[in-house]
Amino acid sequence: MTSNHPLAPRIEGLFNICVTPFDDRGELDRAALELNLERAIGHGYDGILIGGTYGEFAAQTTEERAELFTAAMAIVDGRLPVLLCAASGDAREACELTELAGRLGGLPMLTPPYACEITFEHTEAYFAELAARSATGVMIYNAPGVGATLSPAEIERLAAIDGVVALKQGELSPTSIDRLLHRLQPRLKIIAASDLSMVSTLSAGVDGLSSTNSCALPELIKAIFDATRAGRLDQARALHRAWFPLRELCRRFGQPQTTKAMMRLRGWRAGGVRAPLRDLDASQLAELSAVFADFRRQPLIESLLVD
């Protein structure tokens, strides 16, 4: 593994996982994308993630994903590092998107290939081939539920490949995080893939964290991140506990659709989700609205969130 790629030193801090806003025709809403990215940048986020699992990459064509990459990179315009999810069940699509991401100056994210009867040796060869095609290196995207889940030992082997510069780790068990931090830092940048257990993961020493809910709660997620990094753990824990009822709904209803619904409750443009996902139904939306209203009335929160 080498870390002399231009983006590697910048892959740290708090990354906003941008939901993909669709308009009434089901197409990319570029104006909404710009508003949402500028909001994250304005709140002081350290990076952006485009087209990931919660950006609904699996429901988009290669052409749509390329359009999203290009639009997002033009909006960000070099101000922050951008992770561009190039994962695909089709190696040809992954190759095309990896090359595009590197040309645009983003860091392509890759899951292991999801195919039947694949060996780990096949996965190693896949990462080696695609890493060689990116001018910026690649990030391992270890996403439980999207293809195979990589073990710490397998991640260590992939990390030895030239051009693999970072890891977005979705399997956040304490033993896995402990081993990866000990074996791979500082050679490999490690970003935790979930904000649902962010205080403990950040406290363990990961280089950063990515958050989908920061699309709807940018002030809260940033405040928790900053408090944790500054060692104000009582404050961080109190803020994190304050949104537990919302986290429960995210787990029950699904994160992208719940996050988009919360954004709409704040008057922000998010659009709906694409099939096979479904937007919240009337009863789910009523429950979310009530929980969100209670959340906003908490003394810790009422002065933090300003629409």
Six-digit token pair at 37?
């990215």
Task: Provide the annotated active-site residues.
Answer: 141, 168
Q: 3 falls in which pLDDT band (50, 70, 90)?
A: low
E strand or H helix at 288? helix 282-296
pLDDT at position 124 is 96
Q: State mean pLDDT over 243-272.
A: 96
Q: 4 falls in which pLDDT band (50, 70, 90)?
A: low
Quote the radius of gyration of the chain (alpha carbons, Å): 18
Instruction: Judge contact between 36 and 72, C-beta under 8 A.
Output: no
Q: 2 falls in which pLDDT band (50, 70, 90)?
A: very low
Average pLDDT over the chain, rounded to an integer? 94
Query: For 52-61, what is each residue's pLDDT tens digit?
Result: 999 999 999 9
E strand or H helix at 109? strand 107-110
Query: For 78-103, what is each residue's pLDDT tens digit?
Result: 999 999 999 998 999 999 999 999 99
Distance CA 105, CA 303 (A): 38
Strands 82-85 and 47-50: parallel
For a pLDDT cut of 90, what percent of the chain falls above it?
Answer: 90
Q: List, in sequence order, the alpha helices (H) in 118-268.
A: 120-131, 152-159, 174-184, 198-204, 218-229, 233-242, 244-253, 255-265
Q: State mean pLDDT over 59-67.
A: 97
E strand or H helix at 290? helix 282-296
Query: For 116-157, what is each residue's pLDDT tens digit?
Result: 788 999 999 999 999 999 999 999 999 887 778 899 999 999
Domains within the chain, CATH numbers bracketed: 8-231 (3.20.20.70)
Please say if the pLDDT value at position 281 is more than 70.
yes
Query: For 25-47, what is each residue's pLDDT tens digit?
Result: 999 999 999 999 999 999 999 99
Please say if the pLDDT value at position 1 is more than 50.
no
